[in-house]
Chains A and B, each alone.
Chain A
Amino acid sequence: MDLAYRLEGVRHCYGNRTVLCIDEQAIELNRIVGIVGHNGSGKSTLLRLLALLEHPTRGKVHYFAESKEPMFEVALLPQEPYLLRRSVFSNVSYGLEIRGCGKNEIRQRVYDALSWVGLDPEGFACRRWYALSGGEAQRVALAARLVLRPRVLLLDEPTTSVDAESGRKIREAILKARNEWGTTVIVSSHDRQWLFDVCDTIIHLFRGRVVGSGVENIVFGPWRKLEGDLWIKIFPDGQKFLCPGVPGCNAVGLIDPSDMHMFPEATGSKYKRRACCIHGTVSGLSMVRSTGDIIATVYAGGESFSAKVSGCVEQFTPGRRVILLTYPDKIRWMS
């Protein structure tokens, strides 16, 4: 298996604060890898390290380059893309000009790239940077990376603040890059359903650490000790989540979606007395493209949870009330 990256003992700090702490992580070539995590989990920092724009404070980021100029092989689309104060054509062609491409080639490739992101080249090429909507600007910025046909394409939350149509176009462009040129795509996003739909694998970051290869549920503290070993967390909507064996008041629990069992509320009264159970409403269903699993997103206790759907999907259509249940031994604790 060919690797694009291997990270070894990476520690990255801003001042005294360690924002990234990854002991070992490999990223295969020609894969679409998703990165999920809360705000401040280190997603953007990881992407900047992978883009070779920063060096880790400690450890190594090995990029297995194909040419002598790795900076020309990797393209990063930052979270808030910036368009140069010039026309759309000049924005998209900028990277090609740096690489010394000819005028005719540049024109053809720019027009192709604009088409891939769903923008009409004739209509958009001459537009100035200020005459674009947020979604169009995001797609122009993506076209400026796609036009380079990079070996590795790094996208930092490309679907933030764009509409569903733009999100779909971005997804299509990513798949095209991977399928046509074998580009390795590493994409971070808060949109779990979109990631499930696009990615082959997912890396879950939490406080700068890789905590899983899926979209684990995170249950934050504070926890309050009841009697014995039993602890309680009270969610914002007042629901009580009882759990034994919590390691401390501020412990954070990780629960794999496959360990989060889901039952229709109407049939779930028998679960009410059980520990580690919470009521919620299904807000969406999505299919993990790589495995075919169906994952339900459940809004419960003021937070969002993911649970793997087993059995009859019709019972868990969006809007249905459900009970989420997990077993204490399935919760991984981080203190």
Chain B
Amino acid sequence: MSYILEGLRQAVMLLVKWDPETYAAIRATLTVTSYSMCASLLLGIPAGFALGYFDFRGKRVLRTMVDTCLAFPTVLIGLLVYAFLSRRGPLGSLNLLFSLSAIAIGQTILALPIIMSLTATAVESLDRRLRLTLLSLGARGHKLLFTTLWEARHALLIAAITAYGRVLTEVGISMMVGGNIKWHTRTITTAIALETGKGNFGLGIALGIVLMLIALIVNLSVMSLRKKS
């Protein structure tokens, strides 16, 4: 018990004294999660809208595939991204392996099915009268898309929070395609895994606290957005 308390004390010290190693991991985490969330929202929301809004051949099969991808293990995504980005892989020439970009690509693949599936569910569960109302007021094309998404905004925020929680806490992708390189691709989760293995509970607990703080700040921001809208 005493080493846990000692770890908490160390955590406070590291954060208060602006420990560069700790803050490098925080910076790396915020960078990759921002990139991956932007990419997954940009791709996932329109794709999820199309999946939920339109009826087309093979929709059910596609939906099942997307829902199955919700359980995509992070190590498997890491393996696939590694295979593509390694020197022998089809994208090896891009030299992205063991970089923040590689982690962001992997995390985008992780978050995409979550955004798509939850967006599709949100659009499907909208009031059936909405479409007729918008059409009857003259909305077409992108106006129809944006207004429909705006009506589903609360459910979309939940989708974004869920996806963010997943990318923020994953270890497998960051470890496999980031390489856990100190000052460079070491994220909070990979640092926790490494430092705990080395017996540095202080740093591990400090990073854990930061992880929870980031999650809290994101949730508070989203709650404030919900209130405003």
Contact = CB atoms under 8 A, between A and B. Distances in A.
Contacts of B147: 84, 94
A219 B68 CA distance: 57
B136 to A, nearest CB: 4
A75 B137 contact: yes
B133 A95 contact: no
B135 A82 contact: no
B38 interface: no
B139 interface: yes
B71 interface: no
Nearest to A83: B133
Interface string B171-205: 00000000000000000000000000000000000
A85 B229 CA distance: 9
B166 to A, nearest CB: 27
Interface in B135-161: 135-140, 143, 147, 151
Nearest to B128: A82
Interface residues of A, number: 21
B64 to A, nearest CB: 26
A94 B133 CA distance: 11
Interface residues of B, number: 14
B130 interface: yes
A131 interface: no
A82 B137 contact: no
Most B-side CB within 10 Å, residue of A51, A81, A94: A94
B151 to A, nearest CB: 6
A81 B140 CA distance: 18
Chief secondary structure at chain B's binding surface = helix
B104 to A, nearest CB: 33
B127 interface: yes
A53 B140 contact: no
A233 B225 CA distance: 65
B136 A51 contact: yes
A76 B151 CA distance: 20
Contacts of A214: none
Given A84-B147, A84-B151, A85-B151, A98 B139 contact: yes
Contact of B138 (A48, A71, A78, A82): A71
A99 B136 contact: no
B132 interface: yes
A72 interface: yes
Given A84-B147, A84-B151, A98 B138 contact: yes
A81 B147 CA distance: 16
A254 interface: no
A57 B136 CA distance: 20
B88 interface: no
Nearest to B135: A53
A82 B140 contact: no
A145 B139 CA distance: 13
Nearest to B143: A98
B133 A72 contact: no
A21 interface: no
Contacts of B127: 82
A32 interface: no
B139 A78 contact: no
A117 to B, nearest CB: 16
A81 B138 contact: no
B129 interface: yes
A65 to B, nearest CB: 13
B190 to A, nearest CB: 41
B129 A82 contact: yes
A173 interface: no
A324 interface: no
A80 B132 CA distance: 10
Contact of B137 (A48, A85, A144): A144
A323 interface: no
A78 B136 contact: yes
A78 B151 contact: no
A99 B138 CA distance: 8
A82 B139 contact: no
Contacts of A51: 135-136
B139 A81 contact: no
Contacts of A94: 137, 139, 147
A260 interface: no
Interface in B60-113: none
A315 to B, nearest CB: 46
Given A82-B127, A84-B147, A71 B140 contact: yes
A148 interface: yes
Nearest to A94: B137
B137 A78 contact: no
A77 interface: yes
Interface of A: 48, 51, 53, 71-72, 75-78, 80-82, 84-85, 94-95, 98-99, 144-145, 148
11 contacts: A48-B132, A51-B136, A75-B136, A78-B133, A80-B129, A81-B133, A82-B130, A82-B133, A85-B151, A95-B137, A98-B138
Given A51-B135, A82-B129, 11 more contacts: A48-B132, A53-B132, A75-B137, A77-B136, A78-B129, A80-B129, A84-B151, A94-B147, A95-B138, A98-B139, A144-B137
